[in-house]
């Protein structure tokens, strides 16, 4: 029973219908909606502390235009795929960034062959009201593209060249364009879901439907009618079917935390850990340490007192077996009693640039760690002795055995008085085998 939609509150029902419909009249009904928004966990609008300045924050149409501009200026390094769309047919803007002209961004189909270039998949904009992660993506792209226009000997150019030659980066720039459009059109900065109110990050096929999600369409953690009910999920399913990714990150905001899988209720119960847990924690620790602001990190079900079922990053680790899978919340102080919606997830416009500068080292460190990991993978495959010290050990053992044999051979030729031990009677193999035949257990 959900007390939030109990029959007693007729005004709540009315305001809900009005708030959630897209009629322009909506704006006049602010006052009606505000008292209702004290209901916990809903996605009704609130009287915000501050709102985004769209001269600074990108709105949806500027997100698209900016990406198109980057691609058209740098055709050798950026491509955009328009084929993935939302329920309302808006593009999800899949950007791919690498040096396409060096011929190394090929597709690897074998499980055992490493990608010649590190393949990373980043997902932005799952939650409509979290504007900040998309802004940090633009900051990253700006860093790479502006490096390209510098003289070749400058560190900025060298950095961009190195990233483009070592990484094949896939970016889903806007997972949930319908939700984002809804936020912009209605001014409801509490909206998190898709056009049907589904939380994409509870709609994936990993412990789907359990209690770390909601069946209530008004709840911010509404999981949808069935697993993968949202067409927006398809882009991530499809990309991870077509390519073998080394790493996946789903970006969010609201607090500063790096989550390692798993987050789901069942994993918490059985204390399940992903295969690559040691490396994942090491990466999380490294990335957290690179930040100016304090980040916490760890297994999601240990870090949080709540569990989350059907999340994207659990699915990528558990079902897709991507060796590195994270959810990273880039900004915020967590949900305090004083926070409304926009301010809970996004800095004030005039402080955006400063926040993005602080966040940038996280990407740099993430890439850096993964590049080294990848180089080691390739190294150990071309020179297996590095990975397997047991081989070196085996060689030493062989030498020791040869020396022993030599010693015994020489020793047996010495006169008896000079030997370390007298010659013993040698048990013949035949007598041994007859001993064993007696002991051999009876089998029918
Ligand atoms: C997006 O913002 C720009 C200005 O930054 C504005 O010109 C444009 O009309 C906005 N688009 C929408 C759909 O609101
Ligand atoms: C991309 O690769 C091509 C071919 O190897 C090379 O000539 C070019 O300098 C590379 N671009 C950058 C920015 O490194
Ligand atoms: C991009 O970021 C890297 C890493 O922080 C830095 O070394 C490089 O100079 C930056 N490039 C530009 C053009 O600012
Ligand atoms: Zn989120």
Residue-wise pLDDT tens digits, 24-39: 444 444 444 444 444 4
Q: Is the pLDDT confidence value at 367 over 90?
A: yes
- What mean pLDDT value characterizes the chain? 86
Residue-wise pLDDT tens digits, 227-248: 999 999 999 999 999 999 999 9
Please tell me which residue in 329, 354, 375, 379 is annotated as part of the active site: 329
- 333 pLDDT tier (thresholds 50, 70, 90): very high
Please, which residues have CB less than 5 A from ligand 4, an ion?
127, 130, 252
Residue 267 in 3-state DSSP?
helix
Give the ranges where 245-327 is alpha helix by DSSP (H).
265-270, 277-289, 300-303, 312-318
Q: Is the pLDDT confidence value at 278 over 90?
A: yes
The rounded Å distance from CA 99 to ligand 2 centre is: 6
7 is catalytic: no
Written as six digits, the tokens of 73 are: 């200026």
Domains and CATH numbers, the chain: 51-383 (3.40.630.10), 389-439 (no CATH)
Pocket test for ligand 1, best of 58, 60, 62 (most atoms within 8 A of CB): 62
How confident is the model at residue 385, as a pLDDT? Answer: 67
Provide the percentage of residues in the chain whose pLDDT is more than 90. Answer: 70
155 C-beta closer than 6 A to ligand 3 = yes
Q: Is the pLDDT confidence value at 439 over 60?
A: no
Q: Which atom of ligand 3 is nearest to the CA of 154?
A: 9
102 C-beta closer than 6 A to ligand 2 = yes
Q: In 3D, which of 288, 286, 293, 289 has the Cα closest to residue 351? A: 293
The number of the ligand nearest the C-alpha atom of 66 reads 1
The rounded Å distance from CA 374 to ligand 3 centre is: 22
How confident is the model at residue 418, as a pLDDT? Answer: 58
54 C-beta closer than 6 A to ligand 1 = yes
Phi, psi dihedral angles at 167 (to 5 degrees): -120, 140
| pTM of the full structure | 0.82
Residue-wise pLDDT tens digits, 134-166: 999 999 999 999 999 999 999 999 999 999 999
Average pLDDT over residues 257-262: 98
Closest C-alpha to ligand 1, atom 14: 59
């Amino acid at each position: 029973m959900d007390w939030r939609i109990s029959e007693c509150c007729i005004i709540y029902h009315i305001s809900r219908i009005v708030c959630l419909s897209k009629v322009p009249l909506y704006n006049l009904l602010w006052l009606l909606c505000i008292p209702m928004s004290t209901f916990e966990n809903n996605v009704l609008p609130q009287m915000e502390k501050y709102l985004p300045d769209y001269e600074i924050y990108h709105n949806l149409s500027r997100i698209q235009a900016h990406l198109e501009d980057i691609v058209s200026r740098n055709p050798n390094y950026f491509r955009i795929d328009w084929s993935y769309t939302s329920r309302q047919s808006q593009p999800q803007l899949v950007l791919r960034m690498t040096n396409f002209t060096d011929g190394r961004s090929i597709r690897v189909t074998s499980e055992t062959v490493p990608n010649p270039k590190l393949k990373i998949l980043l997902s932005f904009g799952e939650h409509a009201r979290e504007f900040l992660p998309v802004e940090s993506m633009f900051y990253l792209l700006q860093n790479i593209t502006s490096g390209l226009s510098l003289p070749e000997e400058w560190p900025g150019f060298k950095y961009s060249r190195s990233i483009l030659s070592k990484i094949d980066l896939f970016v889903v720039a806007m997972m949930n364009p319908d939700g984002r459009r809804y936020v912009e059109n209605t001014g409801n900065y509490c909206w998190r879901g898709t056009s049907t109110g589904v939380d994409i990050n509870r709609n994936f096929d990993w412990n789907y439907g359990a209690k770390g999600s909601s069946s209530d369409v008004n709840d911010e953690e509404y999981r949808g009618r069935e697993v993968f009910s949202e067409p927006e999920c398809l882009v991530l399913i499809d990309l991870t079917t077509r390519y073998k990714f080394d790493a996946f990150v789903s970006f969010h905001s609201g607090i500063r935390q790096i989550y390692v899988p798993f987050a789901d209720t069942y994993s918490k119960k059985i204390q399940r850990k992903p295969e690559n847990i040691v490396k994942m924690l090491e990466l999380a620790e490294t990335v957290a340490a690179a930040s100016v602001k304090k980040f916490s990190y760890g297994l999601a079900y240990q870090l949080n007192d709540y569990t989350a079922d059907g999340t994207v990053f659990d699915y990528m680790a558990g079902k897709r077996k991507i060796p590195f899978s994270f959810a990273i919340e880039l900004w915020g102080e967590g949900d305090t009693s004083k926070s409304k919606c926009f301010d809970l997830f996004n800095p004030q416009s005039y402080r955006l640039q400063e926040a993005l500068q602080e966040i940038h080292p996280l990407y740099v460190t993430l890439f850096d760690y993964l590049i080294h990991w990848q180089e080691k993978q390739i190294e150990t495959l071309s020179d297996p002795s590095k990975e397997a010290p047991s081989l070196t050990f085996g060689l030493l053992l062989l030498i020791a055995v040869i020396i022993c044999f030599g010693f015994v051979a020489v020793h047996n030729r010495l006169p008896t008085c000079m030997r370390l031990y007298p010659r013993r009677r040698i048990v013949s193999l035949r007598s041994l085998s007859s001993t064993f035949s007696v002991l051999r257990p009876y089998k029918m």
